[in-house]
Amino acid sequence: MALTNSQYEAIQKKYERRRDVHRSLGRSRQEEVYAAIPEFQQLAESVSTLSVASARRMLEGDDDALDVLRRQLTEIASRQKQLLIQNGFPADYLDPDYDCPDCRDTGYILTEDGMRRKCHCFRQQEISILYAQSNIQEQIARENFSSLSYDYYQGEDLRRFETAVQICKKFVQSFKKDYRNLFFYGTVGTGKSFLSGCIAQELLQQGHSVIYFSAPGLFDTLARYSFDAKSKEALHDLYEDFYNCDLLIIDDLGTEITNSFVTSQLFSCLNERYLRGRATLISTNLSLEELRDRYSDRIFSRITSSFTLCKLTGPDIRILKKRMASSWTQTAT
């Protein structure tokens, strides 16, 4: 599965707009600094004069000209930072600004062997387009750690939710160095999808690739590509994305129509990602007993042995919110 030309061009235009915005910001900041610190501008303008003079000396056979120029430029840069700080500006105020410092808003990174490869930020945009990730994007915009609330839980339910939140935060903090998988299970509407969205938002902000699928959507997609003879080439790319993205989220496992195809695909996905050290997050309303009875022993063993299990219980928060909203409306009227 690959981007169409129009989709690729749309992504490239986004990068162009980012670069235009940052260039405009850089020019504005430069004008601001020049107006506030005349000496800073004089030093900046002296760089070209020194460079031309150094080039002339090198042509005349001066072997030390380049080293002298480097020292002069270092001294100028140091003095400029002093001037910025002395006048109330951050030392890096005029440094180039990027949405993605890794690729400098180009979408591509140069590898050690001189090849260009897509940056993680480009890959995430591809993922969002190819796998219709709009649902998770909308969810994390309104449901994330900053909007987290403990008000809907009491007693043991509250303790379980607090433990799950701490596990999620540790999962995010140690994501780069500590391979883990998470399995949220328990009663309906207790925050499993909410916590999945919290993790997705944090990792996306860190530049990781995240693919989100509801279980029915995931297996429907896999079925389309598995049984459509015209899509065999696309199937390879699809599988590679599922296996290689930094985090795969499978939401509402158990709401799909479970059959031998689903079972085999689920085990293949979980096992391959485990072997590659790629994190997977699963949420389900099934109990562990129901999970064991519905899927194969291999899947049950893989999940219980290589996932951190988080049980969430309590009332359905979605229903509670509706009741509270209805109560407020009635009170207001």
Model confidence over 106-121: pLDDT tens digits?
A: 999 988 888 898 898 8
Q: CB–CB of 26/101 below 8 Å?
A: no
Q: For domain 131-320, give its CATH number from 3.40.50.2300, 3.30.43.10, 3.40.50.300, 3.40.50.1100.
A: 3.40.50.300
* Separation between Cα atoms, residue 187 and residue 184, nearest integer Å: 10
| Residues 324, 107: Cα–Cα separation, whole Å | 46
pLDDT above 80 (res 12): yes
Q: What is the pLDDT of residues 294-304, one digit of tens each?
A: 999 999 999 99
pLDDT band for position 130 (cuts 50, 70, 90) = confident
Residue 123, pLDDT > 90, answer: no
Q: What per-residue confidence (pLDDT) applies to 3?
A: 73
Q: CATH 3.40.50.300 occupies which residues in the chain?
A: 131-320
- Dist CA 7 CA 286 (whole Å): 38
pLDDT at 181 over 90: yes
pLDDT for the residue 327: 59
Amino acid 131: pLDDT: 65
- Is pLDDT of 283 > 70? yes
Q: Helices 65-86 and 38-59 meet at what angle, rounded to 10? A: 180
pTM: 0.72
Contact 22, 94 (CB under 8 A): no
Give the separation between CA 279 and CA 247, rounded to whole angstroms. 5
Task: DSSP for 237-291, please give it.
Answer: HHHHHHHHSSEEEEEEETSS---HHHHHHHHHHHHHHHHHT-EEEEEES--HHHH
**pLDDT value at 213 more than 60:** yes
